[in-house]
Amino acid sequence: MNAVECRELTRYFGRTVALNDLSFAIKKNTITGLVGPNGAGKTTLLKILCGHLRKTAGDVRVFSDDPFNSLKVSVNTVFIDDHLALPATLTIFDTLEAARLFYPNWDHRLALRLFEYFSFEPRKLHKDLSKGQKSTFNMILGLSARCALTIFDEPTVGMDTAVRRDFYRALLQDYLHHPRTIIFSSHLLGEIEDILEEILLLGEGRKCLHLPVAELRGYAVGVRGPAETVEHFIADRDLFRRERFGRDKIFVAVRNSFSGEALQEAGAMGLEVFPIPAEDLCVYLTARTKGGIDDVFSED
């Protein structure tokens, strides 16, 4: 059963296309990381899923409903980003109390315990919190609402490393006890990939990849060595990246379709072969050029 389904979902802002023919499905009770460079359409997608924005064309279903103006989607979805608008007049404690009344599955005990753990001053106003504190408070809202679809859009803005780690732990703990569909968009894939099950990679409004994280990890290998030997070794495999370094050495990232023997041979040929981290692969896959920023400085 799918929590989210998109078919040929397209969204324009004026003449700019933000989402382009996007088709994918997210299974119920999974944690999906939504990744991609700035401007890939991540936020647009998430805001369509929670009913804030309209689609231009295609089909979008959340719990089999069109999310735009759907109360069923609204009561089962919580959307947390760093622009979360909360009433300026309520203290953060009263804000928790208010949110409690909206969400039928709200876990107030969890909310209060997290509130205390992160040493929030109950009588403070949301606008008086620092950037990182705001993010932390919003995260408490998002977890405690316990919605069947929980969306975090860049939730860690301003959080320090310790709080980010706590957040990931809390998210995972709560998910294990109360499985639900979580979509998490972040630029820090390296930090969150351990808690993710699936990765949906967007680039320029299109789907680049949608894979279980485990598969993504073995998806590509890096090969480094003398240019000619490397070219010969990789033959005509899918090339994701090519960077020159030193006088005549190159580094390439290619689709990993090598046999075990081939990889052993590589060592003998004086090549270094190593796995490409998911985070780097995502950068390569969504880059406009195969050489990255180096191309800007290259003479040819």
Can you tell me which of 146, 164, 207, 242 binds other proteins, judged by CB under 8 A? 146
Determine whether 191 is exposed, middle or buried from the number of CB atoms within 10 Å of its CB (0-12, 13-18, 19+): middle
Residue 100 or 237: the one with the smaller Cβ distance to other proteins is 100
Q: Which of 19, 25, 27 is closest to 48 using CA atoms?
A: 19
Q: Is 222 in the site for other proteins (CB under 8 A)?
A: no
Rounded to whole angstroms, the Cα distance separating 154 from 194 reads 17
Burial 194-213 (b: 16+ CB within 10 A, else e): ebbebbbbbbbbbbbbbeeb
Q: Is 74 in the site for other proteins (CB under 8 A)?
A: yes
Q: Closest separation between CB of residue 191 and other proteins, Å?
A: 26
Q: Is 84 in the site for other proteins (CB under 8 A)?
A: yes
Residue 47 or 242: the one with the smaller Cβ distance to other proteins is 47
The three-point CA angle 163-36-182 to 5° equals: 55
Select the span of 93-101, 113-121, 182-190, 286-294 touching other proteins (CB under 8 A). Answer: 93-101
Q: Which of 289, 290, 286 is closest to 254 using CA atoms?
A: 290
Can you tell me which of 72, 127, 232, 244 binds other proteins, judged by CB under 8 A? 72
Q: Is 85 in the site for other proteins (CB under 8 A)?
A: yes
Can you tell me which of 90, 112, 163, 188 binds other proteins, judged by CB under 8 A? 90
Q: Is 122 in the site for other proteins (CB under 8 A)?
A: no
Q: Would you report the helix, strand and coil content of the chain in percent, each value rounded to 5?
A: 35, 30, 35
Q: Is 127 in the site for other proteins (CB under 8 A)?
A: no
Q: At what angle do helices 131-144 and 92-102 cross, to 10 degrees?
A: 30
Q: Is 287 in the site for other proteins (CB under 8 A)?
A: no
Rounded to whole angstroms, the Cα distance separating 34 from 201 reads 6
Residue 63 or 233: the one with the smaller Cβ distance to other proteins is 63
Q: Is 212 in the site for other proteins (CB under 8 A)?
A: no
> Which phi-psi region, left, alpha or beta, contains residue 32 (left: φ > 0; alpha: ψ -120 to 50)?
beta
Q: Is 173 in the site for other proteins (CB under 8 A)?
A: no
Q: Residue numbers of the site for other proteins (CB under 8 A)?
A: 29, 47, 51-54, 63, 69-72, 74-76, 83-87, 89-90, 94, 98-99, 101-105, 146-148, 178-180
